[in-house]
Amino acid sequence: MIDFSFTENHQAVRDMARELARKVIIPSIKDYDRANKINPELLPAMKKANLLGFCIPEKYGGLGMDYISLGLACEELEYGDTSARVVLSVHIGLYSLPVLTWADEEQKEKYLIPVATGEKIGAFGLTEPGAGSDVVGLQSTAVKDGDYYILNGEKMWISLADTADYHLAFAWTDLEKKKKRDHSGLSAFIVEKAYEGVTVGPIHGKLGVRAGDTGWISYQDVRVPKENLVYKEGQGFKIAMFCLDQGRYTVAAGSCGLIKACRDACVKYSFERKTFTRNIAEHQLVKQMIANMEAGYEYSTALWLKAGWLKNQGIRSTRATSLAKWIACREAEEAAANAVQVFGAYGFSDEYPVERFYRNAKGASIYEGTREIHTLMQADYALRLRKDTPLERDLPEVEQ
């Protein structure tokens, strides 16, 4: 039986993340968004609050919190700004949880503990200039050479590219399978940014998430120790899909924070702004837009909570996570568009936050699987053309 009630630990996580958003993110987000720079106080504040590893087991330097806690933190951080939630999505969802699940003990000792404690930052290197949803379109290769793999390739649209110390990177280790587009030739590696041949750079001119670190990574004849192969050769596609399950979950929860931010901004403004001698809160079409935000928030929250509950039970959540991500992002985009409409001309200016919400919301319908990908996934589930089979490895069950 699914229980959606929050424990004391859940409420403590929510309060802590909400306080961080209120004190660190919101007061300065307009300036950093305009400057296209990450707030230098953000990561130290998240480290101090133990957010960077709080759902990683204590034996690996984390706090051992459950996956509902992760979702609550993502929601509250995105209430402040999407760029803050992206840190948890990438550092925990796309790097730490996959390393926890798929890496061996020596790798966890070296590459998970420092990340869980916040001493190091992790990133996820899958997308390339010519390959996003089409994962087998990757061009990166890792050719075995004695005790090393020689890694070559380009990664694009990588969150925390410049900030991260470690990348969970994907490349072809079987070049014959690459020619055949057989995903069993893909493998995953932990790559240190400090390795010779690794260069990174920023991406400028983004529509949204401007206060975040988004960039590119180039691997040129990088010698990656064979000990940094995650799990075994040919398992990269499975690991990548597992990573996306965790990332999509955090995006879904975060999108609810954005919906809530849109709703709260509109509620406040609707009692301040008058047209035709009345507060716009009295106009029926304004009420309708706010009501839609409220409804979108409620059912999107229910969807990500269901996915989080499945994760807590150690049950595969690919279908539930895909649905939660698709619907929450759709509702966030609609809520942000309506928020701009409620604010009128002021919504078209960064004097108020809703134009930033609008820009940020658009990205979530693209990354971690486009809305079209998730639409097709859900159709195939309903048509019984798609069925999830048990994974070789999945998230460890946790106590709430």
What are the residue numbers of the active site? 368
CB-based contact 265:211 (threshold 8 Å) = no
Q: What is the spatial distance between Cα 257 and Cα 285, in angstroms, rounded to a whole number? A: 23
The 8-class DSSP code of residue 109 comes to H
* Strand partners of residue 167: 123, 191
397 CB-near residues (< 8 Å, 6+ apart): 312, 313, 314
Dihedral sign computed on CA atoms, order 104, 105, 110, 111: positive
Q: What is the spatial distance between Cα 378 and Cα 374, in angstroms, rounded to a whole number? A: 6
Identify the residue whose tokens are 């693209």: 366
Neighbours of 285 (CB within 10 A): 11
Instruction: Dig out the tokens for 55 from the structure.
Output: 């759902």
**C-alpha distance from residue 223 to each of 22, 150, 186, 194, 195 (Å):** 44, 5, 17, 11, 7
Q: Which helix (H) or strand (E) holds 356?
A: helix 354-364
Instruction: Dig out the tokens for 312 from the structure.
Output: 């807590």
Q: What is the spatial distance between Cα 163 and Cα 161, in angstroms, rounded to a whole number? A: 6
CB-based contact 183:170 (threshold 8 Å) = no
306 CB-near residues (< 8 Å, 6+ apart): 2, 320, 324
Give 288-296's long-range contacts (Cβ < 8 A, gap of 24+): 289/338, 289/339, 289/341, 289/342, 290/263, 290/266, 290/342, 292/334, 292/335, 292/338, 293/259, 293/262, 293/263, 293/266, 293/335, 293/338, 293/339, 294/263, 296/259, 296/331, 296/332, 296/334, 296/335
Query: What are the backbone angles phi and psi of residue 218, rounded to the nearest 5°?
Result: -115, 130
